[in-house]
Structure 1
Amino acid sequence: MGSNGDRHVGAFNFAIVLALCLGSLTYGYSFSVTSTTLGQPAFFEYFDLSDDESSPSYAFTNRIIGGLNGCFSGGGFLGAVFSGWACDALGRKKTLLVATPIGVLGGVLQGGSVNLAMLLVGRLLGGFAVGILMVLVPLFQSEIAPPATRGFLVSQHGVVVVFGYSAAAWIGFGCYFSTTPAFQWRFPLCLQALWPLVMLALTPFLPESPRWLIMKNRTHEAWAVLGKLHDAKISSERSSFAKEELYQITHQVAEDQELARSETVWTLFTKASYRKRMICAFLVMFGSESTGILVVYNYSVLLYEGLGFTGSIPLLLAAAYVTVACCGNYISSLLVDRIGRRTSLVIGVTGCGVGLIFEAALSATYVETTNHAGLSAGVFFLFLYISFYGCFVDATTYVYCSEIFPNHIRSRGMAWSLAILFLSTVAYLIPAPTAFAQVGWKYYLLFILLTAICAPLLWIMLPETKGLALEEIGEKFGDHVAVRLTQLTSDQTAELDKVIAENSGPQSVHVEMTSAST
């Protein structure tokens, strides 16, 4: 027994992970497109905004820029809260069918905007859609991934999020050279509708989460999905592994559902093991955003302009910046199952803080000068900063928060996690244009201080979860685990052997939904 460390990833399993990543791409591109839009002079001209800091109307421009990000993040918060309910009530698959049409509508409204109100409403709807997707995608991926490779598979969400950043940056850079002013900013905004549209078309072909099916007492449907995910038809070993996982899930779900009968939403904060999870999720999401990552990226074009770069160069640097981040996220997906989640986060947050210290010092010294070496060093430390974030923090946050909650509260836990992320972005992004205009490099000091606080807290508070089945992680937070496949009792071993013997073919399986506490 105990093959729950199996590293085999079936083709069907990997295909589902990648299909779900279209939701990741929707978020990454939709969020990032604002950054490149702010580098298009035609955008400012069309909406009669000023990009001249000495202009009296520049303060209004800053409020609009802050509003664009505020609407997106506010919509994301509402979408995350909605997703916490929808994923359980409707199922993972039907929730996708709610989010994707809204994402399409948001992209169409932004690309076709004739006034600022229409643009802001489009950002709000786009944010709502990605709020749902940002909860749903890593949650869904974690529920179909084998324990030993769950970090790698769920990390693909982070990889593709940043790929979306990169795609938006390079498309924006290319559109800068268009001779049609409207095309420069309308085409990138319209393209937001493509990714959720493709996902909408693929959703009918996706399976439902086996864990959600078991929670709804649809065990045979869950087995059909698990059998495909683990290539149960290929060998008896893989079939046995799939049945072991089904055995473990059903027994843990039975125990969790017994507890859930007496639980309310407030139990998330009053029960010690749940409260510890909520605190850990808060620290992970708040700590990652408190590195200033979205502020630095979303205003990167403006930052490069502040460092003295002009024309298309800021857009080029922004595109190169997110390309480094994309590569870093893939490196992270290879590391996270080896070095662990907690170690990865602490290394990354610390490295970001160090990068910001040098960036602040160089900005204080060389901004508004013509010192080429000093300005180039400022660019270098921005790239060093994103390397630490990409390689150790970005994807890991989604991996950790998607796996620490029990099955019956996972969607609510992820909703809480992403709500913290979006609220943090609202708090940091809205004042950022004004803060950079008024205090400049000193705004970095806020994030330097926060990273210095968050890094040791992450090390102290976060239990390590690498390599454990989702149903076994609860023990790290003080919960009872119904079945440990690596430590089965004699009665559990006999019961599982009977299940496997009686169901030697991969087509059907029978597992009683009873507590496995014996």
Structure 2
Amino acid sequence: MMRQTTVGGNTLLTLITISSGSCYLLFGYDQGVLGGLVSQPSFLNAIGNPNSTYLGTIVALYNIGCLVGCLISAVYGDRLGRKRSIIWGCLIMVVGAVIQASTYGAGQLIAGRLISGVGNGMNTSTIPVYVSETAQSNRRGRAIAIQLSVVIFGTVIAYWLDYGTIKNLTGEIIWRFPIAFQIVFALITLFSMPFLPDTPRWLYAHGRQAEALDVLSRLMSCPVDDPQVLRIEEEMKEALNIEKETTSFKWMEIIHDKSDLKNTRRLVLCFMIQLMQQFTGINVIAFYGKSTCVTIVLESNLGYSRSSSSFIAGFIQIAFWFGTFPPMIMVDKYGRRPVLLWGSVALTTTMVIFTIGLAINTTASNQLALAMLFCYEISFGMSWDSLPWLIAPEITPLHLRHVGAAVGPFSEWLWTFVIAQITPVAIANSGWKFYILFCIMNALCFPFVYFFIPETKGKSLEEIDYIFASAEAKERLHRQFGVATLTPNTNSEQASKVDDIEHVEMGGS
């Protein structure tokens, strides 16, 4: 077994960010790489020149593999641990990439897509948990925002690498090289992750308390007997004691959740927030709306060539990536709810104007639609891009965190698949009217966040249990934060935390 690194503090956090970030770079790259290659003759010849419907299904089957990976994480993720789950996910993605890059038939490509999807499903279910459980509460939002910015950067790399190979290379290397290149990102994670520790919360929950406290002290750059470390140990211990009493999962609790910690309600929220994210229309805009606007505005109205239009579309993708930078500061400074709420307003406004622009269909209105496309993607990057991935592992209790973190991506991949299947037919038959659906769904995001999503800014993962707890469990947690773990140096800090928590209820500001 490889020896773990003994570094701590910012150095350890940086290594965790690089290793998990490379895995998320792989996530973004793998999502985008095939989209720019499916029209290449050498690629189509290699897989038997399927019709557009069959080709679309081949591409979309990746999402089915991701669903399977999420289910594997939900069932086995806690047994494997955060670190081993990521390692297995990357190994599976390497196998899938090799199969895809060596494709000589549609069946082989489908197998490779499904296998890669399984690995990606495992990774997307685990990385947010790994990052959340190793980040300090006041930096947790930034840590996840960085990871999701890396995802979008991965799609940027995929787009421009596809563009470069198509422009400058000939033959099958045009598509085999970009598909194989994803292995580089997987190898970075595979070579670095074994040297990193598993999360202190997973270690503590599995009876490895001494190792958990050692990792915690290294992450916090303080001795094992420091009051901060001891306080978090008490929080973990008390949270586990309460969670052990509420481990049952009953489907009827989806309607009326009677559990002390509202476990089912939390899992439903994990599913719903990713559903709402997908029905903002981001995948439709990213893959179909963008091509529609580029074709109408840049080619037909402004006279650009297909090559120049594709070049400009690449800069739209870069604008999307730049939009992911502000959340690195905003989500920990202003909170999760305000960012999601203003993002809902911005997405609704830009989607409505975008739809109107397509409906009017004049040179001026199409230019307006293209401008709204930029604004929409930047607004999404600043709000709904990263926060659903952050909230799912935050709001689930420790013993169900691997399930909640899998339920969220499961919803993501399920609705991505559904939208990918219905969009071509819907646009062909309804045109601009199809986007009215996303105007409505963006508008509904605001009340959804306002009434159902709690604020978790600055709270430890154990303190968040208090938001969902029943009166009896809340009293136990109140005694913990108010009395049990107080030291002479932390009374005022803990009292402040109790006041904060008591004012953060469902739908509270």
Question: How far apart are residue 40 of structure 1 and its match?
Answer: 4.2
Match for residue 307 of structure 2 among 312, 318, 337: 312
**Which amino acid is the alignment partner of residue 409 of structure 1?**
L
Using CA pairs below 8 Å that are at least 6 residues apart, which structure has the higher relative contact order? 1
Identity %: 26
Question: How far apart are residue 39 of structure 1 and its match?
Answer: 5.6
1:18 aligns with 18
1:506 aligns with none
Maintained 8 Å contact 1:75/1:128: yes
1:426 aligns with 417
TM (normalized to structure 2)?
A: 0.86
1:100 aligns with 2:90: yes
Q: What SS does the aligned partner of 1:465 have?
A: coil
1:277 aligns with 266
Query: Structure 2 CA distance, aligned partners of 1:118 and 1:343?
Result: 46
Q: Are the structure 2 counterparts of residues 457 and 268 from structure 1 closer, same or farther at C-alpha, using a change threshold of 3 Å?
A: same
Q: Deviations over 1:256-310 (max 9, x none)?
A: 22433xx246587444512321232233111111011112213366332354534
Q: Deviations over 1:403-428 (max 9, x none)?
A: 00010101111111111111111110
Q: Deviations over 1:437-485 (max 9, x none)?
A: 3322222122112222232122111111111111011111125355569
Question: How far apart are residue 68 of structure 1 and its match?
Answer: 0.9
1:399 aligns with 2:385: no
Unaligned segments of structure 1, at least 5 residues: 1-7, 51-59, 498-518
Match for residue 492 of structure 1 among 461, 485, 489: 485
**Which region of structure 1 is more displaced relative to structure 2, 406-415 or 319-328?**
319-328
Maintained 8 Å contact 1:66/1:433: no
1:388 aligns with 2:382: no
Q: Are the structure 2 counterparts of residues 89 and 9 from structure 1 closer, same or farther at C-alpha, using a change threshold of 3 Å?
A: same
1:78 aligns with 68
Q: What SS does the aligned partner of 1:291 have?
A: coil
Question: How far apart are residue 385 of structure 1 and its match?
Answer: 0.5
1:460 aligns with 451
**Which amino acid is the alignment partner of residue 302 of structure 1?**
S
**Which amino acid is the alignment partner of residue 375 of structure 1?**
N
**Which amino acid is the alignment partner of residue 446 of structure 1?**
L
1:501 aligns with none
- Please provide the CA RMSD for this pair: 2.6
1:471 aligns with 2:434: no
**Which amino acid is the alignment partner of residue 272 of structure 2?**
L
Q: What does residue range 431-450 of structure 1 map to in structure 2 within 5 Å? A: 431-450=422-441
Query: Structure 1 CA distance, aligned partners of 2:355 and 2:245?
Result: 53
**Which region of structure 1 is more displaced relative to structure 2, 71-80 or 450-459?**
450-459
Query: Structure 2 CA distance, aligned partners of 1:27 and 1:484?
Result: 40
Q: What does residue range 214-229 of structure 1 map to in structure 2 within 5 Å? A: 214-229=204-219
Maintained 8 Å contact 1:37/1:185: yes
1:345 aligns with 2:340: yes
Maintained 8 Å contact 2:82/2:130: yes
Query: Structure 1 CA distance, aligned partners of 2:427 and 2:173?
Result: 29
1:125 aligns with 2:112: no
Q: What SS does the aligned partner of 1:10 have?
A: helix
TM (normalized to structure 1)?
A: 0.84
**Which amino acid is the alignment partner of residue 383 of structure 1?**
F
Q: Are the structure 2 counterparts of residues 278 and 259 from structure 1 closer, same or farther at C-alpha, using a change threshold of 3 Å?
A: closer
1:185 aligns with 2:175: yes
Maintained 8 Å contact 1:76/1:127: yes
Q: What does residue range 30-429 of structure 1 map to in structure 2 within 5 Å? A: 30-38=30-38, 40=40, 42-44=42-44, 46-47=46-47, 49=49, 60-69=51-60, 71-232=61-222, 239-260=226-247, 263-264=248-249, 266=251, 269=254, 270-271=257-258, 273-299=262-288, 302-303=291-292, 304-309=294-299, 310-366=305-361, 371=363, 373-429=364-420
Q: What SS does the aligned partner of 2:20 have?
A: helix
Unaligned segments of structure 2, at least 5 residues: 1-7, 300-304, 491-509
Query: Structure 2 CA distance, aligned partners of 1:492 and 1:48?
Result: 66
Q: Are the structure 2 counterparts of residues 311 and 295 from structure 1 closer, same or farther at C-alpha, using a change threshold of 3 Å?
A: same
Maintained 8 Å contact 1:301/1:315: no
Maintained 8 Å contact 1:348/1:392: yes
Q: Are the structure 2 counterparts of residues 250 and 474 from structure 1 closer, same or farther at C-alpha, using a change threshold of 3 Å?
A: same
Q: Deviations over 1:40-94 (max 9, x none)?
A: 45534554648xxxxxxxxx3134224312x111111111111112221111112
**Which amino acid is the alignment partner of residue 95 of structure 1?**
S
**Which region of structure 1 is more displaced relative to structure 2, 211-220 or 297-306?**
297-306
Query: Structure 1 CA distance, aligned partners of 2:437 and 2:137?
Result: 38
Query: Structure 1 CA distance, aligned partners of 2:306 and 2:174?
Result: 14
Q: Are the structure 2 counterparts of residues 405 and 495 from structure 1 closer, same or farther at C-alpha, using a change threshold of 3 Å?
A: farther
**Which region of structure 1 is more displaced relative to structure 2, 354-363 or 293-302?**
293-302
Q: What SS does the aligned partner of 1:439 have?
A: helix
Q: What SS does the aligned partner of 1:469 have?
A: coil
Maintained 8 Å contact 2:138/2:458: yes
Q: What SS does the aligned partner of 1:113 have?
A: coil
Question: How far apart are residue 390 of structure 1 and its match?
Answer: 0.2
Query: Structure 2 CA distance, aligned partners of 1:196 and 1:484?
Result: 44
Count of matched residue pairs: 470
Query: Structure 2 CA distance, aligned partners of 1:314 and 1:128?
Result: 34
Query: Structure 1 CA distance, aligned partners of 2:235 and 2:441?
Result: 40
